[in-house]
Amino acid sequence: MAERTTTSDLRCARNALQTICREVALNREDIKSLLTIEQIAITALEETEEPIIPFRRADSRQVCSECFSKYHEHPRDRRPEAASDQGEPFLRVLCNGERVKL
């Protein structure tokens, strides 16, 4: 699976680009053009970024501290944004609301 580029990745790239531009003494218009292209990329990424669902990895045999059932006995998170690339739910919802990937 390919890694996704995040907004922070692009901001780091911008900072590196600014440093390089200073070192090679590009003129102000060259820098402005490069940063404009980068800003367009950041804006596009922010508009299309999917919601991030916090979860952690866990062993399916672990026991829930609330109901004392094993993690794999808990219901799946069936929200569309919590589905895998194939559309299948892959997170379990524990009694305390925490989501785990088994």
Tell if the pTM clears 0.85, that is, is over it: no
Q: How many CA atoms are closer than 13 Å to the CA of 48, on its beta-carbon side?
A: 9
Q: What does the pLDDT read at residue 24?
A: 65
Residues 6 or more apart in contact with residue 9 via CB below 8 angstroms: none
Confidence at residue 1, expressed as pLDDT on a 0 to 100 scale: 44
Residue by residue, pLDDT tens for the chain (102 residues) are 445 666 677 777 777 767 766 666 666 666 666 666 667 666 666 665 566 788 899 998 999 999 999 999 999 999 887 888 788 888 999 999 999 999
What's the pLDDT at 30?
66
